[in-house]
Structure 1
């Protein structure tokens, strides 16, 4: 039996690429196993050998975005001091990287009209977990104030990233720098530690002495 050629893509990669092609042209809920097999050139046996359903394939395809170091750098960069690097040069560098542009386009597909709430939530959770890991915070121990800040900020950043194809060029980078968006995001995310210290005990609850009856 001949060995597969080294340059031949594995079945999972073919199906993931087929998923992105399909998402470009039809809404996520309407993508079927037959669509994936037809677009990838594989059969249903191959699909069900690797995945139980389209949702598992979508999760696997989206996971590849999380490995983009350029995208991770952008997400982490936003919570640090913004005056240590020229924003225009940084954003211009991002948009000249082919992998970054490809993944930004895929984010736009997930958050756009063909995407879904569940897929967008996966990306939002990724952004939140990236920030919390950097700050050394445990998501399960956050108080309501911290969660509100995270939800508000991550939704906003997801919106920015989803529009990055149109925004992240030299002109767009200058516009972003003038909006003070990076400063605002940095202040909000870094306020999480203050909210945790002032408003909650270590288990995320108000101290008993804070009762209004006392």
Structure 2
């Protein structure tokens, strides 16, 4: 296969964009290789040159979102209790950039009605991976209490990402930045650093 021209999109990029376009139209389980080749303008030989099946293409397309520094920083900031102005400005900057808006839309497709359980779990693993890395925790060393807190917090984050286009408006971000909610969420996730997570009265839960 010849190399694409400097101003021409590569075959994998064309197929990834075709994947996202199709995911807006139909459920992930219904997307076929023929759909991808038709939408991208490529043939089946080109598809099989780069991918073995649709899941491999989906993994590549989603990985491209994960590589965006802005997306990772947005998820990471949830557990950092910054001052109000920093939190607000960062959130507004994130949702105001076209490339970030596109990523948010695509993340919402993964979690939405056209996505799948597997894609949602993959995104959840990505979110929890960011948090555990920042906290310096080994996922294999978490106790049952920590795992429960992590699952609960990640489920909430997934819910927000799934409805980000309607939830993260400029007005909503302004309100959230001045509410106590960011601090509460950050406290919940940061409680993973404790041995057993938070207790009813907010003290550390340890078993001796």
Structure 2 CA distance for partners of 1:3 and 1:76, relative to 1, 3 Å: closer
Task: Quote the offset at 1:179 in angstroms.
Answer: 4.8
Aligned length: 202
Matched, 1:126 2:126: yes
Structure 2 CA distance for partners of 1:155 and 1:179, relative to 1, 3 Å: farther
Q: Which moved more, 1:59-68 or 1:176-185?
A: 176-185
Task: Quote the offset at 1:4 in angstroms.
Answer: 3.6
Task: Quote the offset at 1:86 in angstroms.
Answer: 3.9
Looking at structure 1, the residues matched to 54 and 160 of structure 2 have their Cα atoms a distance apart, in angstroms, of 27
Aligned to 1:51: 51
Aligned to 1:72: 72
Q: Superposition pairs for residues 1-214 of structure 1, below 5 Å?
A: 4-83=4-83, 85-195=85-195
Task: Quote the offset at 1:193 in angstroms.
Answer: 1.4
Structure number, greater radius of gyration: 1
User: Do the aligned partners of 1:16 and 1:57 also contact (CA within 8 Å) in 2?
Assistant: yes
Task: Quote the offset at 1:159 in angstroms.
Answer: 1.1
User: Do the aligned partners of 1:70 and 1:94 also contact (CA within 8 Å) in 2?
Assistant: yes
Looking at structure 2, the residues matched to 154 and 16 of structure 1 have their Cα atoms a distance apart, in angstroms, of 26
Looking at structure 2, the residues matched to 8 and 57 of structure 1 have their Cα atoms a distance apart, in angstroms, of 20
User: Do the aligned partners of 2:22 and 2:31 also contact (CA within 8 Å) in 1?
Assistant: yes
User: Do the aligned partners of 2:4 and 2:10 also contact (CA within 8 Å) in 1?
Assistant: no
> TM-score, normalized by length of structure 2?
0.89
Looking at structure 1, the residues matched to 141 and 114 of structure 2 have their Cα atoms a distance apart, in angstroms, of 34
After the TM superposition, which segments of 4 or more aligned residues of structure 1 sit over 4 Å from their partners? 196-200
Task: Quote the offset at 1:196 in angstroms.
Answer: 5.3
Looking at structure 1, the residues matched to 57 and 85 of structure 2 have their Cα atoms a distance apart, in angstroms, of 38
Task: Quote the offset at 1:191 in angstroms.
Answer: 0.7
User: Do the aligned partners of 1:15 and 1:36 also contact (CA within 8 Å) in 2?
Assistant: yes
SS for the counterpart of 2:80 is coil
Looking at structure 2, the residues matched to 18 and 47 of structure 1 have their Cα atoms a distance apart, in angstroms, of 12
Task: Quote the offset at 1:28 in angstroms.
Answer: 0.4
Task: Quote the offset at 1:84 in angstroms.
Answer: 5.8
CA RMSD for the aligned pairs? 2.1
Structure 2 CA distance for partners of 1:179 and 1:115, relative to 1, 3 Å: farther
Looking at structure 2, the residues matched to 157 and 2 of structure 1 have their Cα atoms a distance apart, in angstroms, of 43
